[in-house]
């Protein structure tokens, strides 16, 4: 059966000017200019992987599972960068970490535990639209809570 293409016209891609993008610079040039204006050239850029830093995070709920029986956990030695507030804990834990979310700090302190953060990381977290006054107050509160 020829399905309306004649005898030899039904073979290959001869009647449509080639398969796919064949002939875009030749007989399909006007079609390409009209319907595919961005076909040639490079678009955008890709960030170098060397400058992309991915934090290794851990949730509060995972602390008791990963470190059973420990009351003093140094997450910087365990290669964790940030503590997040997902999950719950049942015991009093003292945690040292580079950065932590406010929710994580609150959950640990509610159970009687303590989160030890570097000063500059704590300033980053508590800073908001009001500026430096808020961060100084937050640092003082945090240091007072550590003493008690």
Q: pLDDT tens-digit profile of 120-144?
A: 555 445 445 554 445 667 777 777 7
Is the Cα dihedral 83, 86, 87, 91 positive or negative? positive
Q: What is the CATH number of domain 49-147?
A: 3.100.10.10
Q: What are phi and psi of 10, to 5 degrees?
A: -85, -5
* The pairing of beta strand 57-59 with beta strand 94-96: unpaired
Query: In residues, how long is the chain?
Result: 148
Predicted model pTM: 0.50
Closest C-alpha among 128, 122, 125 to residue 140: 122
Q: Give the model confidence (pLDDT) of 21-76 as tens digits.
A: 889 999 999 999 999 999 988 888 888 888 888 889 999 989 888 888 888 889 88
* The pairing of beta strand 94-96 with beta strand 114-116: parallel
Structure-token match 């610079």, residue found = 25
Closest C-alpha among 145, 108, 138 to residue 123: 138
Closest C-alpha among 42, 54, 106 to residue 82: 54
The pLDDT of residue 7: 79
Q: Give the model confidence (pLDDT) of 80-100 as tens digits.
A: 989 998 998 888 889 999 888
- For the chain, how big is the Rg over CA atoms in Å? 31
């Amino acid at each position: 059966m020829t399905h309306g293409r004649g005898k030899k016209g039904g073979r290959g891609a001869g009647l449509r000017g080639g398969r796919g993008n064949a002939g875009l610079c030749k007989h399909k040039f006007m079609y390409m200019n009209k319907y595919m204006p961005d076909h040639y050239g490079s678009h955008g850029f890709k960030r170098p992987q060397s400058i992309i830093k991915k934090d290794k995070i851990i949730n509060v709920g995972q602390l008791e599972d990963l470190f059973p029986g420990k009351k003093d956990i140094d997450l910087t030695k365990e290669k964790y960068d940030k503590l997040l507030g997902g999950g719950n804990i049942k015991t009093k834990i003292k945690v040292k970490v580079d950065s932590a979310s406010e929710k994580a700090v609150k959950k640990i302190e509610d159970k009687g535990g303590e989160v030890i953060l570097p000063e500059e990381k704590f300033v980053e977290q508590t800073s908001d639209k009001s500026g430096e006054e808020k961060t100084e107050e937050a640092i003082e509160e945090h240091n007072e809570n550590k003493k008690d």
